[in-house]
Chain A
């Protein structure tokens, strides 16, 4: 007769960390689908490559650290990191960019700091920043949306470009990036930034073919896809509403103030929202619990700071987008934010209105 001794509570909600990770991966599907639709197979190839690299890297480090490989390899965290890296890379970046990025994210940013739950930085964004600084050319070779491309690009061509740098027909990356009108394409954010330095107003930039009718051909839909996925996650209570809400509100307020101050030199708030990595960052990057703040108050402060930094970097920085940098800086600030945003414990520092002398 064996009695089974366990500590209370005895029942459990049956949620698992791997289930959370899986759900987040599923939530990226609308955004990834939009990427595929507008920018071709590139990101899907990078995602696959990143997943393979990440799993190999994770396996290697886990076996070196003598950890339970079976349980930890497929807890979903490394796959999620790989997916996020794959999404954030330019579609026709060379294969080794992904391999370096995913390996760096898993080996250095995650495992060297102690593995799951111990990394102070968001692995995907740290890897992205390392790549951006180390390989600026490859990391900025953004492809124009397929509909604006002069050359056709199918799956085989994309694979060939990623592996060898040339399509099957022998076109180079530079040639691929060339617009129908004959000049090299950039992202909408890039376009606006470059044009501003050339003395053009925002209104003139908005005429650019990359931007199209709304905020950027393709980009707006990719952002919308991530927004949809993010709302799904909030609905599932997988991520807390406070972080994306605070982040988007912060960008909205910053850009609105700037826009109202000078409409010629500042893009609209929605342009900021639906371009670059704004939505992606709001719902998939900043919500990383490990490297973020924990309390609701803390999350609001954390994300608001990130939003402010994104706006500052976009407006004054050297890079057209700044989500990755903003996230890393906020990761560093997270413990401090946590320290100062601890909730008031029940029965401590009761405010006079609650002390009961009504």
Chain B
């Protein structure tokens, strides 16, 4: 560790692989101070402006809020609250396009400022040294601070690290072209920044504090060096300008020579990195009790008349800032949020500034003449390897590109696609102008989606297996239970108690009955064969037997009917009488069928919501009712069923052609059906009825056809 500091003191830094030197273009904004812009007419605050989860909404539409008032709240460590940037009224809570590469919509709070800019009550802390670490962390958490360099990781998580910290690295590299927000902030607010660094020093108590800054910011370097001159603990490390030096992993490698292992946070190496703007926000939050409600945004690009750094309230629409800086383009707008390397173009200028917005870029056509739209466009990769020469993660962009195009996900993971930091260096140098980063983004999201599907499938499998197991278990349990019950019964029966005896006797009786029945049956067989040879003495006995048979038959019938036909179970019932209730039963079945049909019909009619059909359907149901009533005999019922089916068909047809004029026709038809259904007394009448019905339906069909044509 000491050797690291010695090297740093000598200005002898490590280097990372690759990197590029795109035109810096910082001169556009570095010569002007940070400007305060007025409050816009409307502020749009996305509930989530960082990596993690959004807090719960604490206000509702119409509420008056004061400047600095918390609008969301959550106890979750990955949730960061948002605050009202100025006083005003909540005018809406709705989805709006947010600052996201895909132009995603998310829940946003709309605040109409009242222009008073009235603060909530504030508690200025004169000496933060009197606060405990937990109080400091609480203040940082409740101020809603998340990393302001780009990723937006909740700062409270990064300050509550339990590990022993060797190096606290303050990232002031600002390697993206155009952006000078941190540069200006350092030049104008170095005391506050230093306070922020001291607060972090208090909380994390690192062995050393390293401020990494690129050498292209001489004024900021001077200011920082003066501010830290008396403090041996803090080292200002002036590193060579190279993109992407400001990447967390890259800066760690430059300053300490260590690589952060893949998939691990730097804190495992005893390193924590905070952005310089975050330090300023921490100081503001702890000392002045100002939550994160504004930030410095570089508004730059040659399409602007007055490119400048501005103090922008969070939630300010980008269009407002551009307007303030003299954006002339009226139709062909190309607005980038972030720098030209990693920023994303915006679908609308109503996208608000959020906690991670460090730059709004409005380039002229000549400045960023995107080769994707004006040049020859993407051509085949010639494997020149320039991309892998510049890749800071030492990946093989050209091989990744092929695998991404081929959707070869295992190969992509083997080539460590997920170590790509999307810095854009490969696509920047690609002579074939392949939008490499775009391919990687797509491939990454595809792999993520696939993984989620895999997890779901795995869960489903586990569920299925569990169910199968449960069913098997239940089956075994059931069998066991039955077995146990049977055994218990056996034991009980053999126990000799009176209860057991009665049970036993019941079983014995049942057995005896079965035996008697069997004997009888065989006797009947015998008696039938021996009918002619019987002696007159047996006649009486025989008659008795036949009576018994008749009784048995009646019983059987009754059983079949499954209805309380006590009357018919008299001893002297004949077969004819027995048939009567059977028919009754059939009639009932037919009626049930008819009812089911009628129900179906009404269901169908519900689908087509036509008022005119109602009548028809009512009629139909009436028919079914009448049909039920009039079922005198079996045949009649069958005929009725046929009639009903026809009526239904008719109704269906009428439903299909949704013409009001059908009403009459249908009514007529139903009248016919009614007439048909009522007098079904004999077969002939019914046949005639069906014929008329058929005719009527044909008529109706023709009519509907006519009407539909």
Q: Which residues of A contact B (CB under 8 A)?
A: 1-20, 71-72, 75, 77, 115-118, 240, 289-290, 292, 294-296, 299, 338, 342-348, 350, 354-356, 358
Binary interface profile of B, 646-669, with partner A (CB < 8 Å = 1, else 0)? Answer: 000000000000000000000000
Does B581 have its Cβ within 8 Å of any Cβ on chain A?
Answer: no
Do B333 and A7 touch across chains, with their CB atoms under 8 A apart? Answer: no
Q: How far is the CA of A118 from the CA of B1 in the complex (A)?
A: 49
Q: Which residue of B lies closest to A16 (CB)?
A: B431
Check A1 against B333 for contact (C-beta < 8 Å): yes
Q: Is the CB of A10 within 8 A of B340?
A: yes
Chain A neighbourhood of B395, CB < 8 A: 345
A259 to B381, CA, bound (A): 42
Q: Which residues 37-63 in B have Cβ within 8 Å of A in the complex?
A: none
Expressed in whole angstroms, the Cα–Cα distance for A14 and B394 within the complex equals: 23
Are the C-beta atoms of A17 and B379 separated by less than 8 Å?
Answer: yes
Q: A290-B382, A345-B394, A358-B1 are in contact. Are A11 and B428 (CB under 8 A)?
A: yes
Of B111-119, B229-237, B432-440, B528-536, the one contacting chain A is B432-440
User: Are B383 and A292 touching (Cβ within 8 A)?
Assistant: yes
Interchain nearest-CB distance for A285 vs B (Å): 15
Residues of B contacting A3 with CB < 8 Å? 333-335, 345-349
Q: How far is the CA of A156 from the CA of B515 in the complex (A)?
A: 130
Contacts of B429 in A (CB 8 A): 13, 15
- CB pair A11 B380 closer than 8 Å: no
Check if B152 is an interface residue, CB within 8 A of chain A: no
Cβ–Cβ contact B419 & A358, under 8 A = no
Contact between B345 and A5, CB atoms less than 8 A apart: yes
A354 vs B15: C-alpha distance when bound (angstroms): 13
Given contacts A3-B348, A4-B345, A6-B373, contact A116 B380 (CB under 8 A): yes
Q: Which of A7, A19, A338 interacts with B441 by CB under 8 Å? A: A7
Chain A residues near B394 (CB, 8 Å)? 343-346
Question: Which residue in chain B gives the minimum CB-CB distance to A117?
Answer: B380
**Interface readout for B9-50 with A: 1 if CB under 8 Å, 0 if not?**
000000011001011000000000000000000000000000
Are A347's CB and B262's CB within 8 A? yes
- Beta-carbon nearest neighbor of A348 in chain B: B262
Closest to B166 in A: A356
**Residue of chain A at shortest CB distance from B361:** A10
CB distance from A233 to the nearest CB of B (A): 12
Which residues of A have CB within 8 Å of B333?
1-4
What residues on B are CB-neighbors of A9 within 8 Å?
Answer: 340-342, 424-425, 427-428, 437
Interface contact A15-B431, CB-CB below 8 Å = yes
Q: Which of B372, B389, B419 contacts A348 (CB 8 A)?
A: B419
The reply to whether the CB of B257 lies closer than 8 angstroms to some CB of chain A is: yes
Scan residues 241-259 of chain B and give those whose CB is less than 8 A from a CB of chain A: 249, 253, 256-259
A12 touching B428 in the complex, CB below 8 Å, given contacts A4-B345, A20-B384: yes
A4–B396 touching, CB < 8 Å:
no
* B422 and A8 contacting across the interface, CB-CB below 8 Å: yes
**How distant is the Cα of A11 from the Cα of B385 in the complex, in angstroms?**
19
- Given B257, B262, B340, which contacts A345 in the complex, CB threshold below 8 Å? B262
Residue numbers in A under 8 Å from B347 (CB-CB): 3, 5
Chain B residue at minimal CB-CB distance from A347: B262
Q: Are A14 and B371 in contact, with the CB atoms below 8 A?
A: yes
Docked CA distance A354–B252 (Å)? 12
A343 and B422 alpha carbons, distance in the complex (Å): 18
Query: Which residues does chain B contribute within 8 Å of A4, judged by CB atoms?
Result: 332-334, 345, 370, 373
B543 interface hit (Cβ, 8 Å): no
Contact yes or no, A346 B393, CB < 8 A: yes
Which residue of chain A is the closest to B258 with respect to CB atoms? A356
Whether B370 contacts A12 by the Cβ 8 Å rule is yes
Which residues, 284 to 335 on B, are CB-close (under 8 Å) to A?
330-335
B395 to chain A, nearest CB (A): 6
Return 6 A-B CB contacts under 8 Å, by A number.
A3-B347, A6-B370, A17-B384, A294-B383, A345-B393, A348-B261
User: Once the chains are docked, how many angstroms separate the CA of A348 from the CA of B259?
Assistant: 9
Closest 7 CB pairs of A and B: A9-B424, A117-B380, A356-B258, A347-B262, A7-B438, A4-B334, A289-B384
Query: Are B383 and A289 in contact, with the CB atoms below 8 A?
Result: yes
Encode B402-435 as 1/0 by CB contact (under 8 A) with A.
Answer: 0000000000000110010010110111111101
Give the residues in chain A near B352, CB-CB below 8 Å: none
Question: Any chain A CB within 8 A of the CB of B206?
Answer: no
Partner of A356 from the list B256, B370, B376, B385 (CB cut-off 8 Å) is: B256
Query: A9-B341, A10-B343, A16-B431 known; A2 and B332 CB under 8 Å?
Result: yes
Residue of A nearest to B102 (CB): A5
Q: Which residues of B contact A292 (CB under 8 A)?
A: 383
Q: Closest Cβ of chain A: how far from B430's Cβ, in Å? A: 8
Q: A5-B345, A8-B341, A12-B433 are in contact. Are A346 and B258 (CB under 8 A)?
A: no
- CB of B435 within 8 A of CB of A11, answer no
Q: How far is the CA of A49 from the CA of B113 in the complex (A)?
A: 76
CA distance A11 to B367 in the complex (A): 8
Smallest beta-carbon distance A128→chain B, Å: 21
Q: Judge if B368 is at the interface, Cβ distance under 8 Å.
A: yes
- The smallest C-beta distance from A113 to any residue of chain B, in angstroms, reads 12
Decide if B223 is an interface residue (CB 8 Å cutoff): no
Q: Does B191 contact A (CB under 8 A)?
A: no
Minimal beta-carbon separation of A352 from chain B (angstroms): 12
Contacting pair B427 A12 (CB below 8 A): yes
The answer to whether A16 and B376 have CB atoms under 8 Å apart is yes
Q: Among A11, A19, A71, A296, point to the contact of B341 (Cβ < 8 A).
A: A11
Report the minimum CB–CB distance from B376 to chain A (whole Å). 6
Residues of A within 8 A of B373 (CB): 4, 6
| B residues in contact with A17, CB < 8 Å | 379, 382, 384, 431-432
Apart from the given pairs A117-B381, A117-B432, A345-B416, 10 other A-B contacts in the complex at a CB distance below 8 Å = A8-B341, A8-B437, A13-B20, A20-B384, A117-B379, A240-B389, A295-B385, A347-B419, A350-B259, A356-B256
Q: Which residues of B contact A296 (CB under 8 A)?
A: 389
Give the Cβ gap from A213 to chain B, nearest Cβ, in Å: 40
Q: In whole angstroms, how far apart are the Cα atoms of A280 and B21 in the complex?
A: 32
A154 CB to closest chain B CB (Å) equals 40
Which residues of chain A are near B398, meaning CB under 8 Å? 294
Contact call B370/A71, Cβ cutoff below 8 A: no
Check B259 against A347 for contact (C-beta < 8 Å): yes
| Cβ–Cβ contact A358 & B3, under 8 A | yes
Are B437 and A20 touching (Cβ within 8 A)?
A: no
Residues of A within 8 A of B441 (CB): 7
Which residues of A lie under 8 Å from residue B396 when comparing CB positions?
A: 294-295, 342-343
Chain A residues in 8 Å Cβ range of B361: 10
Question: Nearest-CB distance from B282 to chain A (Å)?
Answer: 27
Q: Is the CB of A346 within 8 A of B3?
A: no
Tell me whether B128 is interfacial, beta carbon within 8 Å. Answer: no
CA separation between A344 and B428, bound complex, in Å? 22
Please name all residues of chain A whose beta carbon is closer than 8 Å to the beta carbon of B427 when the two chains form the complex. 9, 12
Contact, CB under 8 Å: B392 / A71: no
B391 CB, min distance to chain A CBs, angstroms: 9
* B181, CB-defined interface residue at 8 Å: no
Taking a contact as CB atoms under 8 Å apart, the answer to whether B336 and A10 are in contact is: yes
Is B92 in contact with chain A by the CB < 8 A criterion? Answer: no
Q: In the bound complex, do residue A8 and residue B424 qualify as a contact, i.e. CB atoms below 8 Å apart? A: yes
Of the candidates B256, B269, B385, the one having the most CB atoms from chain A within 10 angstroms of its own CB is B385
Given the known interface contacts A9-B437, A12-B428, A289-B384, the answer about A346 and B341 at a Cβ–Cβ threshold of 8 Å is no
Report chain B residues within 8 Å CB of A19. Answer: 431
Asked whether B258 lies within 8 Å of A355 as measured between CB atoms, the reply is: yes
A7 to B346 Cα, complex, angstroms: 10
The verdict on A10 contacting B363 (CB below 8 Å), with A345-B262, A346-B393, A347-B260 known, is yes
